[in-house]
Amino acid sequence: MIEMVTALRRSVSSLGQGKVWLYILGPGLAAVLFMVGVSITFLDYLITSFVEQPPMSWIAEWGAAWLAKALAALGGWLVILSASYLVAMLLTAVLVLPLLLGRVAGTDYPDLAKLGKDSVVASTWNSLWAAVLFVLGWLVTLPLWLIPGLGIFLPLFWMGWLNRRTFAYDVLSVHATAGEWRELRERQAAPLLGLGLLMAALTHVPFVGLLAPSLSALAYVHFCLEALRRLRQGAVVSVQSITEKKA
């Protein structure tokens, strides 16, 4: 929890740099345009399709057509919102995160050596594969949305998972060795997912929601680089302790 708070505090501090906002706003504006276009084109179709499917069709037959249409409209908006978030996330991961990482690492973590591999192909593949798994998981669990509460939790969970699966890897692929990434993934499994869920919750905040992927990327940059710094400092301390004992 402390690591998450530290990452969020440093992210807010980074937002004081004007150039960072150029990185933050780009994917959000693209996602807004995408959402508007898809809403105009497909929202009515989605609502009509959902109304004709159980349980909305059952609700309509029971005389509550207004409720069926309301639930169908909610479902349509959730589909469009999730698709817009996915577009913003992919743009952030492929185009924005490398710029954010370079700037933040240079200003806040200049002592952290780059021991990983700066592979655009690997990062892009990771983001695309995460997007495919996100869509599959989203579709497989779609029937569970009918259970009260899960209709809100499951989209949030999958967005949080997508944040963790995409941004944590992309940040650490440049700075961490394969062994360091594996160790951090084991040690920080819960905080990494927790940070993703927390940042995914921003999607429910009006006007801020489509900035959530870029803000998530910034938070993961701070979280992962600080975690890597502490891991290396711990390794140094351990080696020094062993040397002193032998002496």
Average pLDDT, the chain: 83
Statement: residue 109 has pLDDT above 90: yes
Give the pLDDT confidence of 79-96 residue by residue, as tens digits.
887 788 788 888 888 888
> With contact defined as beta carbons under 8 Å apart, do 175 and 118 qualify?
no
Statement: residue 144 has pLDDT above 50: yes
> With contact defined as beta carbons under 8 Å apart, do 223 and 38 qualify?
no
The pLDDT of 168-174, averaged and rounded, is: 89
What is the structure's pLDDT at 227? Answer: 94
Give the pLDDT confidence of 25-83 residue by residue, as tens digits.
888 888 888 888 888 888 888 888 877 777 777 777 787 888 888 878 877 887 887 78
Give the pLDDT confidence of 110-123 residue by residue, as tens digits.
999 888 877 777 88
73: its two tokens: 């409209």
Statement: residue 237 has pLDDT above 50: no
What ranges in 62-142 are assigned the alpha helix state H? 65-91, 97-108, 120-140
Q: pLDDT-based confidence at 235, cuts 50/70/90?
A: low
What is the structure's pLDDT at 90? Answer: 84
From residue 46, how far is each of 38, 53, 152, 190 by CA, in Å? Answer: 11, 11, 18, 36
- Give the whole-number percent of the chain exceeding pLDDT 90: 20
Q: Which amino acid is at 29?
A: L
Cβ neighbors of 234 (< 8 A, separation 6 or more) are: none
Q: Where are the domains of the chain?
A: 2-237
Statement: residue 195 has pLDDT above 90: yes
pTM: 0.79
> With contact defined as beta carbons under 8 Å apart, do 171 and 224 qualify?
yes
Ramachandran area for residue 149 (φ above 0: left; ψ -120 to 50: alpha; else beta): left
What is the structure's pLDDT at 238? Answer: 42
